[in-house]
Amino acid sequence: MHALDAIFRPQSVAVIGASSKDRTIGKEIVRNLIAYEFQGPIFPVNPQAKVVHSIKCYKSVMEIPDPVDLAIIVVPSKFVLQVAEECGQKGIKGLVVITAGFKEIGETGLEREKQLSAVLHKYGMRMIGPNCMGVINTHADIKLDATFAPTQPIPGHVGFMSQSGALGVAILEIARELNLGISMFASMGNKTDISGNDLLEYWRDDPETKMILMYLESFGNPRKFTQIAKSIARTKPIISVKAGRTLQGAAAASSHTGALASSLDVATDAMFEKCGVIRVSSIDELFNLAAAFDAQPLPKDNRIAIVTNAGGPAIMATDALISSGMRLATLEESTKQHLRQHLPPEASANNPVDLIASADEHRYKIALEAVLRDPNVDAVIAIFVPPIMITANAVAQTIIDMHRQYADKPVLSCFMGQQEGRQAIALLRQNKIPVYFFPEHTVYALKAMDQYRRWREKPEGTIKTFDVDRKAVEQILSQAKSENRKQLSFSEVTSILNAYHFPLPAHTTVPLDGKGLKEAVEFSKSTGGSVVLKLLAADLTHKSDVGGVKIDLRTEKEIADAFSEFEMKMKERHIRPDGVLVQEMIKGGKELVLGMNVDKNFGALIMFGLGGIYVEVLKDVSFSIAPITDLEAHEMIKSIKGYPLLTGVRGQMPVNIDAIAEALQRLSQLVTDFPDIREIDINPLLVFHEKEKCKVVDARIGLI
Ligand code: ADP
Ligand code: MG
């Protein structure tokens, strides 16, 4: 037996705070339990009432002669602790605490919540809530509706968790309207004991639950969520509404990665992407997708056929398809011929198949059957704009019949004109054909299915472990920590990059004086080419902003001029220089930025993008959460808009993508090995066609 069985599969239920007064939660819950025909005994408990809903009422749980698995608690908050204590003594194993007035109201509530936790631990009880609207299990052996929502759930295969109670009521109502069957439902409340993660694990192993919907406001433990969700999403789709984060921290973040990460709310996206969770931004969208996933098989690929009786909506659907990265199916010649033979000459036998306004159910049958049979078609969108004369119901029935006959291909319908189509829409929903009122919504649902299928088919990839010198980094970090420094010096950064075998250009550091100048000139001779001089000082984060970077210096004079300029700058600004970095000049590469920023909830976020103006202006970057696999590294690179610039446009040589992927994975290993690193900016990494020439020419590392 699972610990959560006491809550979701109880043999008997007590309702503590049951009431005979109208319009009280205590009455509604008992009513729902009875009306939904709970398969075990119900025990109302209330010291003041004798009978609730014609059932004998007990003064306390202690008085109930039979064993009780689950207690629903709806007493005022000041009585909750005492009641919970009694439940423990009675041997009850599961609690659902509806009562509010806990941590959501501040200090006193928080204290009460802590005490409640202590009672749970003392007796080994598990709890949903407090401050929630209850739980549901529609399974025929259980039939538990322990909520005060007015809507009775339809049994089905959707596990639904909601962090908002009020929304929970609305959700149940919409689900019923859409004929979306629920397996289990939980309003999570304050998540004091049972977390969203616990519930996900529970539903992973529940054979009735085939899809999970979530309304989330926060993650308790995002890293654990990632693990669990990833394992579930391989077999059961998870769709989640997650309200966006605020811009908090954006101002505080000093690195590119940090600022971009917080401004784009990428952490949640990166995490969902990693674990295959489908993120939506509204409840509306949540249900749009759920209706499709619940009722239809996943498409095998993204070649879509459209059957319509009106041109406009088909064009809109086509536009949405193409911009969503899907394709209009190219129909087989035989399909087109068949259509031409059986449709009137004004109709279009090409995809979108336009049956024109006079189309009746027979014409729909011809077209739907033809495209569903066509091997070039992976999914079908049936659009219907009800004209006068034609009965929508008959067309709906044809769509249903055709889908039944070719059940392995998804069919989604778009019925515009909700008034005329009312009955037809209900008929379609009853028969598991998702209905949308706009062509775009139909397409977005298909797109989500297509993306999910792709995620599922994707190989897992491996997290590579490179041979590195961990000890060296350990020493540098503990030294910096003992001096309470948050920013590492250039030489420390260089040592760390060396220890993890990032390719660096030849360089030397010299003092900013006559002796240093001599050394710089000597170094430049030894490299044989031109050099770059960079002013090093502790307070100088962006060197080129203050003219602290001089590139492509070829002669002694140019180097000497740069030195004098640096000296003047230091005097003007009263900054003490740490020295001058002399680097070999790397010519002709493409500039990339690699970064990492620790998100306090999600851990190390790795960033990739084109460097220079691309990162500043276009924000063309991608993110993933460390540790990243080899495949994720390649995906990060591919997913930026500027990717074609790397593969070689207009006769340019392509750069070495593997070298970039390797640098990303080494970065991932470094930050996973050392959680004390708060941020890294490698900007730029210069990349070339040949791997050997790729070099990190500038980097910064900050500590927690
Ligand atoms: P900062 O970011 O502090 O301003 P960088 O060291 O990144 O300073 O240098 C600024 C720019 O100068 C780089 O983006 C790159 O275009 C160029 N640059 C710096 N070092 C080199 C080098 N060794 N070879 C070629 N170009 C360089
Ligand atoms: Mg830089």
**Mean local confidence (pLDDT), 675-686:** 95
Q: Is the CB of 551 under 6 A from ligand 1?
A: yes
Nearest ligand 1 atom, CA 583: 23
Q: How far is CA 581 from CA 85, 168, 426, 506, 586, in A?
A: 69, 61, 73, 11, 14
Secondary structure of residue 703 in the 3-state scheme: strand
pLDDT at 252 over 50: no
Distance of CA 33 to the CA centre of its chain: 35
Superfamily of domain 5-292: Succinyl-CoA synthetase domains (3.40.50.261)
Distance 595 CA to ligand 2 centre (A): 11
Ligand 1 pocket check for 503: Cβ under 6 Å? no
Looking at all shown ligands, the one closest to residue 681's CA atom is 2
Residue 281 banded pLDDT, cuts 50, 70, 90: confident
In sequence order, what DSSP letters do the residues of 566-604 get, joined into one string? HHHHHHHHT----EEEEEEPPPS-EEEEEEEEEETTTEE
Instruction: Please state, in angstroms and rounded to a whole number, the distance separating the CA atoms of residues 297 and 166.
Output: 32
Protein residue whose Cα sits closest to atom 23 of ligand 1:
585
CA of 59 relative to ligand 2 center, distance in Å: 73
Same fold, 5-292 and 296-454: yes
Q: CA-to-CA distance for 686 and 695, rounded, in angstroms?
A: 5
Say how many C-beta atoms besides its own lie within 10 A of residue 615's C-beta: 24
Check pocket membership of 583 for ligand 1, CB cut-off 6 A.
yes
pLDDT tens-digit readout, 443-453: 999 999 999 99
Q: Is the peptide bond before 153 cis (omega within 30 degrees of 0)?
A: no
Q: Which of these ranges, 60-69, 134-143, 398-407, 615-624, has the smallest mean pLDDT? A: 615-624
Q: What mean pLDDT is predicted for residues 22-30?
A: 95
Residue boundaries of the structural domains of the chain: 5-292, 296-454, 470-584, 590-703
What's the mean pLDDT in 628-657?
93
CATH assignment, 470-584: 3.30.1490.20
Q: Please indicate whether residue 534, judged by its CB atom, sits closer than 6 Å to ligand 1.
A: yes
- The atom number, within ligand 1, closest to the CA of 612 reads 14
Q: What is the mean pLDDT of residues 241-266?
A: 54
pLDDT of residue 253 exceeding 50, the answer is no
> Which ligand gives the minimal distance to the CA of 551?
1
Who has greater pLDDT, 626 or 216?
Answer: 626
Residue 386, pLDDT above cutoff 70: yes
What crossing angle do the helices spanning 222-233 and 266-275 adopt, rounded to 10°?
A: 40
Is the separation of the CB atoms in 237 and 212 below 8 Å? yes
Tens of pLDDT, residues 303-335:
999 999 999 999 999 999 999 999 999 999 999
| Ligand 1 atom closest to residue 543's alpha carbon, by position in its atom list | 3
Q: Which of 207-216, 342-351, 603-612 has the lowest mean pLDDT?
A: 603-612
pLDDT of residue 576: 86
For residue 616 and ligand 1, the question of a CB distance below 6 A is answered with no
> What SS3 class is residue 6?
helix
The pLDDT value recorded for residue 259 is: 60
Contact 624, 606 (CB under 8 A): yes
What are the phi and psi torsion angles at 312 (to 5°)? -50, -55
The token pair that represents 302 in the structure block: 């993204």
* Ligand 1 pocket member 681 (CB < 6 A): no
Instruction: Say if residues 286 and 280 touch (Cβ distance below 8 Å).
Output: yes
Q: Is 451 exposed, middle or buried (0-12, 13-18, 19+ CB in 10 A)?
A: middle
Which residue CA neighbors atom 10 of ligand 1 most closely? 544
Going through 144-187 in order, the beta strands assigned E by DSSP cover 144-147, 155-162, 182-187
State how far the Cα of 500 lies from the Cα of 470, in Å rounded to an integer: 8
**Triad 404, 405, 410: Cα angle to 5°:** 60
Please tell me the residue having the least CA distance from ligand 1 atom 25.
586
pLDDT at 258: 60
> How do 590-599 and 603-610 pair as beta strands?
antiparallel
- Residue 676, pLDDT above cutoff 90: yes
- Ligand 1 centre distance from Cα of residue 530 (Å): 14
Confirm if 548 and 569 have CB atoms less than 8 A apart. Answer: yes
Cβ atoms within 10 Å, residue 527: 16
Tokens of 460: 């897992």
Name the residue of 254, 502, 544 whose CB sits within 8 Å of the most ligand 1 atoms, as the mutation to test its pocket: 544
What superfamily in CATH does domain 590-703 come from?
A: ATP-grasp fold, B domain (3.30.470.20)
Q: Is the CB of 507 under 6 A from ligand 1?
A: no
Whether ligand 1 lies within 6 angstroms of the CB of 532 is answered as yes
Ligand nearest to the CA of 490: 1
* Average pLDDT over all residues of the chain: 93
Which is higher by pLDDT, 182 or 541?
182
pLDDT at 537: 87
The pTM score is 0.87
CATH of 296-454, one of 3.30.565.10, 1.10.3720.10, 3.40.50.11440, 3.40.50.261: 3.40.50.261
pLDDT exceeding 70 applies to what percent of the chain? 96
Q: Which atom belonging to ligand 1 lies closest to the Cα atom of 545? A: 4
Query: What ligand is nearest to the CA atom of residue 583?
Result: 1
Which tokens in the block code for residue 44?
């109302």
Report the alpha-carbon angle 92-95-96, nearest 5. Answer: 155
* 247 band by pLDDT with thresholds 50, 70 and 90: very low
- Tell me the torsion sign for CA atoms 363, 369, 372, 376: negative
Ligand 1 atom at minimal distance to the Cα of residue 611: 14
Long-range contacts of 475-481 (CB under 8 A, 24+ apart): 477/674, 477/676, 477/677, 477/703, 480/703, 481/676, 481/703
Inform me whether the pLDDT recorded for 501 exceeds 90: yes
The conformation of residue 251, written as its DSSP 8-state character, comes to T
Residue 696 CA to ligand 1 center (angstroms) comes to: 10
334: helix, coil or strand? helix
682 alpha carbon, closest ligand: 2
pLDDT for residue 286: 96
* Nearest atom of ligand 1 to the alpha carbon of 507: 23
**Quick check: 251 pLDDT over 50?**
no
The dihedral formed by the CA atoms of 508, 513, 514 and 520, expressed in degrees to the nearest 10: 20
Which is more confident, 74 or 164?
Answer: 74
